[in-house]
A and B are shown apart, each in its own frame.
Chain A
């Protein structure tokens, strides 16, 4: 026996929602309340639900168009890889001494992009930085999808990809094991741990928000999708108790992981004796560069999403201001690291190191060096001006340039160093090929495809954590300090 009082669950309170179709209209979610267009008034729980869930409404033609473009890029990458598998690595333009070329350049680029998602999420969570809340979900999604993208490159670069499992330590008939002293094997462990922990951290953060979507869903498909993926979350007091503890531990585990992953990636280079690579500054230099590029990519993604989905009240100028300051900080560290590399080469009195660092700015592709310097060191300095830190179109331009600059940085480190090793006899140059370019294009399509699908099917802005930083609703305003 049960009796229910009249439930206001299906009623509308407050102002009407501002999305197409009027209050609910053909919406796939129940909205209680609406956006109150007064900047001075803090958001309410209802408004947060409505704003974020509106992102999950059926897609417009622009979403389909963008997804289509991503799929075309994926197809280009797929055709290129197939061609390489059929005809061998020669298709990728690999030739001595540049056997790493574009693939490892792009691998390090994507690992770098992957870096800041967990950093923004875990480190800023531990520091209780409130500006993290509206940003971190997208940053984590970016991390997971960027690692998925980066992880493809060692496989593509293997040539005979069907033997990839030789990298893993498994008992085999030859009784041989991988070489655990090799940085390349450390990388396998670091990147797979990073993927596992980042994905888990990301999914755990999503569960309460998926429950919000589940309880507001009006269509069968949405109810089923969110019913399964929310795992039956109810937000009971014991669930929150253990959830918050587990989340804190995940943040605490992910923080040293963030630092270790790009340090290990840097050791792929620094542990060798190639001039330009063999330097102890590499781990902090790589970590700072990764944070720099990752934050830039988060902003690049956030700006169009903010505009398309009307997230102006959640992603406020102060959030862009805070992230711009992080860009300034990491740009400074990176500029210092670039300088230290040159200083070390000069101070070492090692002619091969000196030759390498002369070659980078004044060699055959010195333009890559100057492009990197302009994009990563010079142009971001404009962010010292406060009005530019909150100027959204300007920020978009800066972050696009940083993305380009960071790809060029990896190109300088990898291709330039390999091209100009010890003796002139072994100097050579990297041959670009359409297969190589196609795979790089495919990687952007692959990343874009996952991001596009994600923002349409799951809450791309953290509902619960934004609510957490809002004042809890109280009958008596002064009851709590």
Chain B
């Protein structure tokens, strides 16, 4: 978080939280929003656009599909034993392996993307996090210079914050 101080606004209402986000954006501040649930209005206000997770999912699926077919084809050619008069390379039969591997690797890469983009596991203490933010409160944390703390705190209070905290930004 940019700036030595983090001003934390604790909110009960989502509309107040949205006001605080617009204040943070208007002031050009570095900010972070915590919420107990995902909400489309919060997403639109903070990070509109699509998540890059989909690229890794797609990559994993293509890799799995080609890898599944490749494994079945290569091993059949490596040990060519004709079974029940079927072709050595029996594409219809190998479709199942390709299909399952598409989903398996698509899923594994989605998991890796999730861990990467959500920065999990996150062992450091997150700046401005308050246990209430997972329960029933919304939080807007704004990074600022020491001399701007009062001004930011006042704006958060005006937007409807129940409580203001000032913390050291890491």
Enumerate chain A interface residues (CB-CB to B < 8 A): 1-7, 9, 32-33, 44-46, 49, 169, 175-182, 185-186, 189-190, 192-193, 196-197, 200-201, 204, 207-208, 211-212, 214-216, 231-246, 249-250, 253-254, 256-257, 260, 264, 267, 464, 467-468, 472-476, 479-480
Pair A242/B113 contact, Cβ less than 8 Å: yes
Contacts between chains A and B (CB distance < 8 A), count = 234
CB pair B57–A249 under 8 Å, yes or no, is yes
Identify the closest chain B residue to A198 (Cβ).
B107
Which of A196, A212, A236 touches B32 (beta carbons < 8 Å)?
A: A236
Chain A residue, CB-CB nearest to B88: A181
**In the docked arrangement, what's the CA distance between A238 and B51, Å?**
9
CB–CB B165/A186 < 8 A: no
Contact B166 A3 (CB under 8 A): yes
CB distance from A229 to the nearest CB of B (A): 10
Asked if B36 contacts A235 (CB within 8 A), the reply is yes
Cβ-defined contact, A253 with B120, below 8 A: no
Interface string of B103-134 (1 = CB under 8 A from A): 11011101101100111111110100111111
Known: A2-B168, A196-B104. A480 touches B41 (CB 8 A): yes
Report yes or no: B75 in contact with A178, Cβ–Cβ below 8 A: yes
In the bound complex, residues from chain B placing their C-beta under 8 Å from that of A190 are 96, 100
Instruction: Tell me the nearest residue of chain B to A207, going by C-beta.
Output: B120
The interface residues of chain A lying within 8 Å CB-to-CB of B123 are: 232
The reply to whether the CB of B97 lies closer than 8 angstroms to some CB of chain A is yes
CB neighbours of A257 from chain B (8 A): 100, 103
A479, chain B: closest CB distance, angstroms: 5
Chain A, residue nearest B58 (CB): A249
B131 near A9: Cβ-Cβ < 8 Å:
yes
Of chain B, the residue at the smallest CB distance from A49 is B135
User: Can you show 21 pairs from A to B with CB atoms below 8 A apart?
Assistant: A3-B165, A32-B135, A49-B136, A177-B76, A180-B71, A181-B83, A181-B93, A182-B83, A197-B104, A200-B111, A211-B134, A215-B132, A231-B122, A232-B121, A233-B120, A237-B42, A238-B46, A249-B106, A250-B107, A253-B103, A260-B100
CB-defined interface of B78-102 with A at 8 Å, one 1/0 digit per residue?
Answer: 1101011010001001101101110
